[in-house]
């Protein structure tokens, strides 16, 4: 089998710097800088929250000090247990409405031209809930082959309407019987052909310059910039092109929102692309003479347009501009910070909002309630509480 891609092999100097896991200038803690504890963390909060059914692990945003999230800290959410697949036995099958169905081993993919992309992925269930703390989001450098290139090689037939991507993780549903056996539902997601053929879609076999770990979909997963994580299938084994509408149990039941269109008209809709969002990740202090200097830092991502600015409000005061410290790429979060020179003793409420090139503003929770009903897609402003001693 061909060697795995190395971090410095095909990256530009900047990309190699990122893939090697080195922090860019954003805001790594200085030797004399301290985290100020948030007052809104649940004492029972654990980043590694649940082992299986579903598997839930958050990225503790207080660790955010680089555009790249280490694989060991990268968030994890999947419906069943983590799979440990045999790379030698694994195959990717592409079939259905194509001229040339194929079956590919991992070694076949490793021989192809590789691409690297810096992409932020967020779970659609990411929220400020005290058990999650908006930690179901992370960013990595992904290496792999283009999905569109593979589909073009197979020759997509004109009547193909959707591409269904299926993982090796399955769930048995005892409510359904088929031929005397319980119905087995693979975790899958379908894309309109136009979406499947988008240039940015990647079949990734490496993360931050190293092979995918089982937690993150080894040996192959889909990475789709700008889409919520539920569509980015891990342990990918099959792509089937069809001329009808796929409605797998997760896509048709679990990942739905009710959206307001006009007046009293509300329509069910599948969740798809992520939304404009920012978070306050941490507050720090460092001594300056007889006083402390305070700084607020965080990240912003998502939405249909470039993020132009981040604003921060403290204790209900005026919105103030933060400084964007790092733009890590078109498909990755921006990292920002703001000095807080007037921090006084006592408890404070800090909230950020992102504003994009279209002038769209990250909404409050109250504004979201007027637009959609869902326990997912929560891109609301996230007030944080911090106590200055």
pLDDT in tens, the chain (389 residues): 445 544 333 333 344 444 444 444 455 677 788 999 999 998 889 999 999 989 999 999 999 989 999 999 999 999 889 999 999 999 999 999 999 999 999 999 999 999 999 999 999 999 999 999 999 999 999 999 999 999 999 999 999 999 999 999 987 665 555 555 556 678 899 999 999 999 999 999 999 999 999 999 999 999 999 999 999 999 999 999 999 999 888 787 788 888 888 778 988 888 999 999 999 999 999 998 888 999 999 999 999 999 999 999 999 999 999 999 999 889 999 999 999 999 999 999 999 999 999 999 999 999 999 988 888 999 999 999 999 98
Determine, yes or no, domain membership for 186: yes
Using CB atoms within 10 Å of the CB of residue 225, give its burial: 0 to 12 exposed, 13 to 18 middle, 19+ buried. buried
Determine, yes or no, domain membership for 5: no
What pLDDT sits at residue 166? 96
Q: Can you give the CATH number for the domain in which 144 is found?
A: 3.90.420.10
Encode 108-144 in three state secondary structure: HHHCCCCEEEEEEEECCCCCCCCCCCCCCEEEEEEEE
What pLDDT sits at residue 14? 44
Cβ neighbours of residue 222 closer than 8 Å, sequence gap 6 or more: 147, 165, 201, 202, 203, 204, 231, 232, 233, 236
* Dist CA 325 CA 238 (whole Å): 40
- Comparing C-alpha atoms, which of 348, 352, 364, 341 is closest to residue 315? 348
* Phi-psi group of 205: left, alpha or beta (phi > 0 → left; psi -120 to 50 → alpha; rest → beta): alpha
Determine, yes or no, domain membership for 336: no
What pLDDT sits at residue 192? 97
Determine, yes or no, domain membership for 132: yes
How far out from the chain centre does Cα 345 lie?
Answer: 36
Question: Residues 220, 225, 227, 228: what is their CA dihedral angle, to the nearest 10 degrees?
Answer: 60
- Comparing C-alpha atoms, which of 224, 209, 77 is closest to residue 141? 209
Specify the pTM.
0.91
- Comparing C-alpha atoms, which of 188, 106, 196 is closest to residue 156? 196
Determine, yes or no, domain membership for 13: no
Number of domains, the chain: 1
Determine, yes or no, domain membership for 322: no
* Dist CA 203 CA 341 (whole Å): 46
Please give the residue range of the domain that contains residue 132: 49-255
pLDDT tens digits for 48-87?
Answer: 999 998 999 999 999 998 999 999 999 999 988 999 999 9
Provide the mean pLDDT of the chain: 89
Determine, yes or no, domain membership for 86: yes
Determine, yes or no, domain membership for 337: no
Pairing of strands 92-96, 102-104: antiparallel
């Amino acid at each position: 089998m061909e060697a795995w891609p190395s971090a410095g092999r095909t990256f530009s100097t900047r990309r190699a710097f990122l893939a090697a896991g080195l922090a860019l200038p954003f805001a790594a803690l200085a030797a004399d800088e301290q985290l100020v504890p948030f007052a809104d963390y649940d004492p029972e909060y654990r980043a590694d929250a649940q082992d299986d059914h579903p598997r839930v692990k958050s990225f503790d945003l207080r660790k955010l000090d680089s555009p790249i999230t280490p694989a060991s800290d990268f968030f994890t959410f999947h419906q069943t247990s983590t799979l440990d697949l045999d790379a030698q036995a694994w195959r990717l099958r592409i079939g259905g409405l194509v001229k040339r169905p194929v079956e590919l081993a991992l070694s076949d993919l490793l021989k192809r031209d590789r691409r690297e992309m810096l992409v932020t992925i967020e779970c659609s269930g990411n929220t400020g809930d005290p058990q999650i703390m908006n930690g179901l989001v992370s960013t990595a450098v992904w290496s792999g082959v283009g999905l569109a290139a593979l589909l073009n090689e197979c020759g997509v037939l004109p009547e193909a309407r959707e591409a269904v991507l299926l993982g090796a993780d399955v769930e048995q549903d005892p409510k359904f019987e088929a031929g005397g056996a319980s119905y087995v539902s693979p975790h899958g997601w379908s894309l309109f052909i136009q979406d499947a053929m988008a240039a940015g879609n990647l079949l990734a076999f490496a993360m931050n310059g190293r092979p995918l770990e089982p937690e993150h979909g080894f040996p192959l997963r889909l990475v789709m910039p700008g889409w919520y994580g539920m569509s980015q299938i891990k342990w990918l084994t099959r792509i089937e092109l069809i001329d009808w509408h796929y409605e797998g149990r997760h896509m048709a039941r679990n990942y739905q929102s009710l959206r307001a269109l006009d007046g009293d008209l509300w329509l069910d809709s599948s969740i798809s692309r992520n939304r404009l969002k920012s978070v306050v990740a941490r507050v720090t202090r460092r001594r300056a003479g007889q006083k402390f200097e305070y700084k607020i830092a965080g990240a912003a991502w998502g939405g249909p347009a470039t993020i132009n600015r981040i604003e921060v409000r403290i204790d209900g005061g005026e919105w103030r501009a933060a400084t964007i410290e790092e733009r890590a790429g078109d498909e990755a979060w921006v990292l920002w910070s703001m000095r807080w020179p007037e921090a006084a003793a006592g408890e404070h409420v800090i909230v950020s909002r992102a504003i994009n090139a279209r002038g769209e503003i990250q909404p409050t929770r109250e504004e979201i309630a007027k637009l959609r009903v869902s326990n997912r897609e929560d891109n609301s402003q996230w007030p944080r509480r911090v106590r200055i001693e």
